[in-house]
Structure 1
Amino acid sequence: MFNRILILAPHTDDGELGCGGTIAKFVDEGKEVHCVAFSIAEDSVPAGFPKDALLTEFSNAMKTLGLKEQNIRTFRYRVRHFTSFRQDILEDIVKLRNEINPDLVFVPSPNDIHQDHQVITAEGLRAFKKISILGYELPWNNIIFETRSFVKLNKTHIAKKIAALQCYKTQQHRSYLNEQFIWGLAKTRGTQFESDYAESFEILRILI
């Protein structure tokens, strides 16, 4: 049903965290997958690492999932300041829409409370009015999350997701990068419809 997929990630690791297993599955199926990060979060890089470390880590993570280099892009909006650049971000998303012409787009859940994530979701909904959109899950930011759609995954897909996240050497202190947590959430979502593993998404718009 979907062959050209675009993941909009506010920050460099959001796409992998929210739908890394799904990305791995789509790549395995031969689909064209693009991922765009709107910030390389230079303000969030720990002391002792280069300020642009997340740029390299993002590229390595996406390649681990199987994305082609030309399908990996970044912008340099300052983390936690997206609200000041809403129109610029919208214009960037519209350019991506016109260039890539995706038939499925992933954005953070509308119930995500992070201010940057809210901007990407709102502007994504404006830009992709005639395209199917799913909202991905980042539980530490979600007050609520409606598990209304699922992508069935296997063990290899989750292993690739974890391998991609391990590329983020600067972020390994984050509790949500814990390998047991990632396996557990995938198992929980799979159990909801009697599958081994899955990732779940909120339905923002589906065109059939």
Structure 2
Amino acid sequence: MINDKIKTALVLAPHTDDGEFGCGGTIAKLIERDVEIHYIAFSACEQSVLPEFPSDILITEVKEATRVLGIKKDNLHLLKYDVRTFNFKRQEILDDIIKFKKEISPDLIFIPSLNDIHQDHATIANEAVRAFKFTNILSYEMPWNNFNFSTTNFFVLTEGHIQTKIDALKKYKSQEHRPYANEEFIRSLARTRGVQIGEKYAEVFEVIRLIN
């Protein structure tokens, strides 16, 4: 259980939109509770944007999406790592994470799963655990990348939280071709997780570290 001592949370998104997919509803819920949310996107994936869009489109889209979630403009931090190269930049990424740790002093960290098979996601997850080993850490779910995922911590969400998440993700026009980037999937996953705990909607997380 995340208690009332949580005042500042940090979302680590390997790529723009990962944070929204993984914990967008929970972000909306925490902001309602006056938790300060910071969001770090390590790459805008310029190398993999479809040719019909400007290469920097994801920078525009993440700004719009995080605004919908309620994240303050100054709390969005955009880094410039090239997609699919994070494993070669492990130490630089760790140094950046530690820098933000000192600046933000978060009480709670959201990261990809340690079992995420995407090489960039795996790097961020592992370096975050190194940096924040004395802090509350939860891994968010991305079913298309997770071979294994332990459903050990649930955030109960309302219709409003889910709609905010959907509205935020709709800002990513350049990602609409993804099979998971649609309202039907997002809502059905939230319903599935809700049913598991006797609620209508939820997002689920793996507990890496929880300090009460």
Q: Quickly name the TM-score band, shorter chain normalised.
A: over 0.9
Q: Calculate the aligned-residue CA RMSD, in Å.
A: 0.6
**For residue 131 of structure 1, what is the amino acid of its counterpart?**
T
**Does residue 154 of structure 1 match 2:152?**
no
2:49 paired residue number: 45
Partner of 1:144, secondary structure, is: coil
Looking at structure 2, the residues matched to 175 and 37 of structure 1 have their Cα atoms a distance apart, in angstroms, of 22
Looking at structure 1, the residues matched to 10 and 124 of structure 2 have their Cα atoms a distance apart, in angstroms, of 13
**Does residue 70 of structure 1 match 2:74?**
yes
Identical columns (%): 52
Partner of 2:144, secondary structure, is: helix
Looking at structure 2, the residues matched to 178 and 12 of structure 1 have their Cα atoms a distance apart, in angstroms, of 16
Measured after TM superposition, the shift of residue 3 of structure 1 is 1.4
Measured after TM superposition, the shift of residue 207 of structure 1 is 1.0
Partner of 2:194, secondary structure, is: helix
| CA deviation string 1:21-60 (max 9, x = no partner) | 0001111111100110000000121112111110010010
| CA deviation string 1:39-87 (max 9, x = no partner) | 0000121112111110010010000000100000110100000011000
Aligned counterpart in structure 1 of residue 17 of structure 2, from 7, 13, 19:
13
Partner of 1:147, secondary structure, is: coil
Give 1:132-151 correspondences, 5 Å limit.
132-151=136-155
**Runs of 4 or more above 6 Å deviation:** none
Aligned counterpart in structure 2 of residue 193 of structure 1, from 192, 197, 209:
197
Aligned counterpart in structure 1 of residue 181 of structure 2, from 177, 182, 199:
177
Name structure 2 gaps, 5 residues minimum.
none
Aligned counterpart in structure 1 of residue 123 of structure 2, from 113, 119, 126:
119
Please identify, of 45-54 and 87-96, the stretch whose mean Cα deviation from structure 2 is larger: 45-54
Looking at structure 2, the residues matched to 48 and 30 of structure 1 have their Cα atoms a distance apart, in angstroms, of 39
How many residues align? The count is 208
Looking at structure 2, the residues matched to 95 and 176 of structure 1 have their Cα atoms a distance apart, in angstroms, of 33
Aligned counterpart in structure 1 of residue 92 of structure 2, from 88, 91, 105:
88
Please identify, of 44-53 and 160-169, the stretch whose mean Cα deviation from structure 2 is larger: 44-53
**Does residue 206 of structure 1 match 2:174?**
no
**For residue 135 of structure 2, what is the amino acid of its counterpart?**
I
| CA deviation string 1:130-183 (max 9, x = no partner) | 100000000000001110000010000000000000000111011111211100
**For residue 166 of structure 1, what is the amino acid of its counterpart?**
K
Measured after TM superposition, the shift of residue 91 of structure 1 is 0.2
Name structure 1 gaps, 5 residues minimum.
none
Aligned counterpart in structure 2 of residue 54 of structure 1, from 34, 55, 58:
58
